Amino acid sequence: MGFIIFRCSLVSDLDKVGFAVVGLGVIGQVHASNISSLEGCRLVAVVDQLRARAEEAGKRFGAIPYCSIDEALRNPEVEAVVIATPSYLHAPQALYALQNGRHVLVEKPMATTLKGAQLITRTAERMGLRLGVVFQERFLEAAKRLKEAISNGMLGRVYLIEAELKWWRGEGEYYRSDPVACSWRGYWETEGGGVLMNQAIHTIDLMLWFGGDAEEVSGMTANALHPSIEVEDVATAVIKFKNGSLGTISATVNTQPTTRQYRKIRLYGEKGQAEIHDLSLSMWMDGGEVYVDGSMIGFGELHKRLVAEFASCIKSGSEFLVGGAEGVRSLELIKAIYLSSRRGEFITLPPTEDVYAL
């Protein structure tokens, strides 16, 4: 005698947020997989300009495949859109989705220009829609514990924040890995920047989350080892925060050997110090030590936590942790570093019109 097994969810389809994922590269596939497995979400549509890729993802995740965002937004079951296309498409596609009444979760950078970032932020506010930016490391336990420690005064007044990102991105395997990558990666017009804009932006977001708004910055950037691209592959900056603390950033995608890649954020306060090394946290204070192990966190897990929270905020109407204003803040600082590097001078924040031209 056979048995029929019924799988049921505690959340009906009517209570789930219907998503479309636009852009099915590596990170778009991660978002599609996460959304299809989250109890409070439903993957309605997947979108990619490459028809075969869209159809394959549709079969894999049980979603309707489309080749344009316009087609997907004609589907009334799509309530929210995840934008995971090349960087230069983020702002126009986010704007289009917002203008069509959809909530938007956009990959970093939220735009390649400050004007674009501010435009979609204002549009979301005007239309009463949720706009989120994919800074998934805000949902890292190590980062949340450090933020709590700062807020609770466990480290005392923080006077110095140091950040290092030493990664590797090769020309052949990254910037020129396929025809799509060749069409946009490594160009100012389409990527908006290099290691600061694409890789270190997560670290910069955490620096600002921990340290508050920046007041002044001086930076230098260069392209040392990637002759086929226009943007920077190495950058340094010194920051003065509005609360009086200082900060430094050192970032590169030239690290060799590649087995020595790492990311560190170190905070020094009057009562102790802390370090996030990759995904783990160590804190040292007079009262003892704290360690949070993040080494077992798999790729895509933090994205999953972020999407789950975004969907919850849509349902509850509450504010999302990483809204449009947070995305604008990191972009402002990066653009100010670029302007400082070009002019050879300190740049005051908030930026002048000169930064908007970058």
Q: What is the CATH number of the domain that holds 33?
A: 3.40.50.720
Structural domain contains residue 155: yes
pLDDT reported for residue 351? 77
CA 208 remoteness from chain centre: 13
Domain count of the fold of the chain: 2
pLDDT reported for residue 13? 76
Q: List residues bridging with 162 in a β-sheet.
A: 248, 266
Of 107, 136, 165, the residue at which a domain comes to its end is: 136
What pTM did the predictor assign? 0.94
Structural domain contains residue 308: no
Domain co-membership, 36 together with 89:
yes
Q: Which residues in the chain land under pLDDT 70? A: 1-12, 356-357
Domain that holds residue 343: 141-295+323-356
pLDDT reported for residue 1? 42
pLDDT reported for residue 352? 76
pLDDT reported for residue 152? 96
Could you give the angle at which helices 90-99 and 114-127 cross, rounded to 10 degrees? Answer: 10
Averaged pLDDT score across all residues of the chain: 95
Backbone phi, psi, residue 46, to 5°: -125, 140
Structural domain contains residue 39: yes
pLDDT reported for residue 6? 43
Could you identify the residue written with the tokens 């993802």?
57
Structural domain contains residue 1: no
Q: 23: left (phi > 0), else alpha (psi -120 to 50), else beta?
A: left
Q: Which residues of 309-319 are buried (b: 16+ CB within 10 A; e: fewer)?
A: bbbebbeeeee
Structural domain contains residue 311: no
Domain co-membership, 187 together with 125:
no
Domain co-membership, 88 together with 184:
no
Domain co-membership, 349 together with 272:
yes
Domain co-membership, 113 together with 148:
no
Domain co-membership, 333 together with 185:
yes
pLDDT reported for residue 210? 98
Q: How far apart are CA 83 and CA 94, in angstroms?
A: 7
Of 136, 165, 194, the residue at which a domain comes to its end is: 136
Domain co-membership, 40 together with 163:
no
pLDDT reported for residue 11? 59
Q: How far apart are CA 169 and CA 255, in angstroms?
A: 8
Query: In this predicted model, what pLDDT tens digit does every residue of 174-209 receive, in sequence order?
Result: 999 999 999 999 999 999 999 999 999 999 999 999
With beta carbons less than 8 A apart as the criterion, state whether 141 and 269 touch: no
Domain co-membership, 222 together with 123:
no
Q: How far apart are CA 168 and CA 166, in angstroms?
A: 7
Domain co-membership, 171 together with 240:
yes
Backbone phi, psi, residue 316, to 5°: -90, -20
